[in-house]
Amino acid sequence: MCFTGLVHTDEHASVTGARGSPATAARVRTLLAEEVGARRGAGEAGEWGHLVWDEIGRLVDGGKHLRAQLLLRTHDAFGGTRHDAAVRAAAGIEMLHGAFLLHDDLIDGDTVRRGTPNLAAIARERALLAGADVAVAQRWCEVVAVLAGDLALGLAHHLFATAELPAREALAVQRTVSRTLGTTVMGELGDVALELGLLPADAGSVRAVARGKTAAYSFACPLVLGAVVAGAPGRSEDDLWAVGECLGVAYQIVDDVREVLVDRARRSDLRRGKVTTLVERASLHPGWSAVEHLWGDPALDDAGAAVLRHFFVDSGAVAAGAAEVRELLAQACLRAQVLPRDVTRVVEKFAATVEDLLGDAVRGAAEPVQ
């Protein structure tokens, strides 16, 4: 998932809002470009290697860098002064995000990322142009996507490992990253299992997937790493992880609502039969059997998507999802009260932004969907 529109900042302003801080979004982007460029320029890269590194570079340069900003803001809020280490860790979390996107697109069979053909699509097209048959081109694009994700994952580890930190903090960074990787992979497994009908599509399973696949690396990990790099007391880590889980699950629900009610050109989740919070809630309604055939239909058209949108609204699924989001955001802000006041403000600001996105989505539900 991506966080389009979640954070709007001047990339040359500090993450705490004042200009001149060493920990800037611009430094993160510069570091990522330097690390990718050095590897692209290696003699053994070759034509396909250049393509892989070009696409990795494009992935990590795009987006709002929400995770980096959350890490940097948390570091500053704890009074951290290790700005160079914070920038490297922030670059690491964005490179980790890039690795997950490469693998996620492959798992989902997606060919477009941020409005343009993704690496797998480009590799497939180039293989076809080189004379490969369809089966060979498909096999090749899958190999390229897997290995590109592995490269990005390796570079993420390099960035985390080369952040200059005392031994205690360095070990805590590795521990947090390891936990994040394990949790996220299990979340992805659960997501696919739900889609394939290998897990019960109940509320518990859907929330567990959101905590694992989305909340861990997009919210909990950046919050904890920001504190660790700043040298905050270890007892803060559990509270920050719990806060991140609440924020992440809330955002995932908002993203699910936005996909069907705001970003109406996107129908990939509906066509694949992805089990989201809206689907789980709507499936409990007695009228679900009348529209269920549309969900998971690879040929779903605008008219069918509109029928599903109407049902999500009329069944109360959207309202129930919105109520859950507000409850999760309240829990996040409440849990954050035990943290230093500046850290609490960071959490409250992100929670308010997620609630604003929810408001936009709910207003979208009130607009005609035919």
173-227 pLDDT tens trace: 999 999 999 999 999 999 999 999 999 989 999 999 999 999 999 999 999 999 9
As a whole number of Å, the end-to-end CA separation of the chain is: 26
Q: CA-CA distances (angstroms) from residue 192 to 109, 188, 232, 242?
A: 12, 6, 37, 24
Q: CA-CA distances (angstroms) from residue 138 to 111, 130, 142?
A: 12, 13, 6
Model confidence at 244, in pLDDT bands (50, 70, 90)?
very high
Please tell me the predicted confidence (pLDDT) of residue 259.
Answer: 83
DSSP state of 336: G
**Which amino acid is present at 30?**
T
Residue 12 in tokens: 């040359």
Residue corresponding to tokens 């080369």: 162
**Which amino acid is present at 61?**
D
Task: State the virtual CA torsion across 29, 34, 40, 44 in degrees, nearest 10.
Answer: -150
Question: Does the reported pTM lie above 0.75?
Answer: yes
61-93 pLDDT tens trace: 988 899 999 999 999 999 999 999 999 999 999
250-294 pLDDT tens trace: 999 999 998 888 775 567 789 889 999 999 999 999 999 999 999
Cα gap 255→1, rounded to integer Å: 8
Mean pLDDT of the chain: 90
Residue corresponding to tokens 């705490």: 16
Of 116-125, 285-294, 330-339, 357-366, the poorest mean pLDDT is in 357-366
Q: What dotted CATH number matches 166-369? A: 1.10.600.10
* H/E stretch holding 113: strand 112-113
Please tell me the predicted confidence (pLDDT) of residue 267.
Answer: 75
Cα gap 185→151, rounded to integer Å: 17
Q: Do domains 1-8+19-164 and 166-369 have the same CATH topology?
A: yes
Within 130-220, where are the H helices?
134-161, 167-195, 203-209
Please tell me the predicted confidence (pLDDT) of residue 262.
Answer: 76
Please tell me the predicted confidence (pLDDT) of residue 364.
Answer: 62
Structural fold of domain 1-8+19-164? Farnesyl Diphosphate Synthase (1.10.600)
Contact 361, 261 (CB under 8 A): yes
pLDDT of 355 over the 50 cut? yes
- Where do the structural domains in the chain lie, given as residue ranges? 1-8+19-164, 166-369
